[in-house]
Amino acid sequence: MSRRATLSDQIYDEMVGRIVSGQYEVGQRLPSEATLCTSYAVSRTVVREVLFRLREKGYVTSRRGAGSFVQRAGGVPDPSFGAVSSIADLNRCFEFRISMEGEAAFLAAERRDSTTLPTVRHAHRAYRDAVALEATGGEEDIAFHQAVAAAARNQFFGGMLRAIQVHVLFGINLSRNLAPAFAEDHLTHCVEEHGRILEAIEAGDAATARAGMRAHLMNARHRIFGSGGAG
């Protein structure tokens, strides 16, 4: 995988996250190509590839001479998943993520190289810095998990994570809306757990990376539901 492809995947995932979370609202004009190039420190070729993918998936539409506009915000999940309608649904989402993302972390450690490691490191630093600035770090949290999925070098992991983006955001927002003391403790633990996953991936320790990701997601579920889950 080339560095350009890795950057393209990362930027695409981040922009989809912003559309789904409502930061980019339906009908809103996206930043210009030049602005995106500057914001992400990438070439116009990379930005155009990202915009092409967003158009292809139906997230944005282009208007000649006017730019790209958000076309839909709810198109990330496959319709077969349905929306999160209960706490039980969220618990099932955690069950799925524990299995899927654990294997993604395992493969990311096995297949890490000079093109994937910087992306995972950057995502970890961005999340750590957001938390240090007392931000909720929702986008940065998702970006870290997407970076690990991309590092697995199997497009189905990243695609599946994007497909449940709305469900993941629901869980993040729920945990962030709990009592302030709980939320602060939750964020601190998340930073530490992300750090351990990164260390295992850097070391090429696939088993520890898998265990770390599974533990991280199980801990996140426990922090919301307690030891018993939610059925």
Q: How many CB atoms lie within 10 A of CB 35?
A: 11
Write down the residue that tokens 């426990």 correspond to. 222
Q: Residue 114 is encoded by which pair of tokens?
A: 């000079």
Q: Tell me the angle at which helices 206-225 and 87-111 cross, rounded to the nearest 10 degrees.
A: 160
Domains present along the chain, CATH in parentheses? 3-70 (1.10.10.10), 87-225 (1.20.120.530)
- Cβ distance 33 to 48 under 8 Å? yes
Write the DSSP symbol of residue 31: P
**What's the pTM?**
0.64
Separation between Cα atoms, residue 5 and residue 18, nearest integer Å: 20
State the pLDDT confidence band at 206, using cuts at 50, 70 and 90: very high
Separation between Cα atoms, residue 148 and residue 116, nearest integer Å: 8
Which of 54-63, 71-80, 111-120, 189-198 has the weakest average pLDDT?
A: 71-80
Separation between Cα atoms, residue 96 and residue 119, nearest integer Å: 24
Q: Is the pLDDT of residue 231 over 50?
A: no
* Residue 184: predicted pLDDT: 65
